[in-house]
């Protein structure tokens, strides 16, 4: 039980301190609403939920690495900076992949909705 409490505290910390995590959460909420509005299939839900989860996971790991690096080596350091940049790059990869999934799932539905005569 303590592990769940600790994990929850970590998520609350990330949500409170990381602007990008809040942006990802807002986008995930909008995508969820769009999923219900457009009636996406079970397979599409699977792709959307997994994509969002991977983005959240990447953002949390990035934040953890930043906190750890700052605690271990608080002064500016080229290696620490490179590690932080690499972790941020991982978040970018996840976010771009999620955007591609979103485009594949939602663009045809939006196009069909816009072109209904």
Domains in the chain, ordered, with CATH?
Answer: 2-114 (1.10.287.3610)
How does pLDDT run across 68-98, given as a tens digit for each residue? 999 999 998 999 999 999 999 999 999 999 9
CA distances from 23 to 18, 84, 96 (A): 9, 19, 14
pLDDT at site 116 = 83
Q: How far apart are CA 43 and CA 49, in angstroms?
A: 10
Could you report the per-residue pLDDT of 3-28, keeping only the tens digit for each?
999 999 999 999 999 999 999 999 99
CA distance 116 to 33: 21
Tell me the angle at which helices 42-72 and 19-38 cross, rounded to the nearest 10 degrees: 180
Distance between CA 50 and CA 37 in Å, rounded? 19
**Which positions are annotated as active-site residues?**
59
């Amino acid at each position: 039980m303590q592990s769940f409490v600790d994990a929850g505290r970590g998520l609350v910390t990330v949500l409170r301190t990381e602007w990008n995590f809040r942006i990802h959460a807002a986008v995930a909420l909008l995508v969820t609403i769009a999923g219900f509005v457009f009636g996406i299939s079970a397979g599409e839900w699977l792709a959307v939920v997994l994509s969002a989860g991977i983005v959240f996971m990447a953002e949390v790991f990035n934040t953890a690495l930043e906190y750890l690096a700052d605690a271990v080596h608080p002064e500016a350091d080229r290696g620490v900076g490179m590690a932080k940049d690499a972790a941020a790059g991982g978040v970018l990869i996840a976010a771009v992949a999620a955007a591609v999934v979103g485009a594949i799932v939602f663009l045809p539905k939006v196009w069909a909705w816009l072109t209904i005569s």
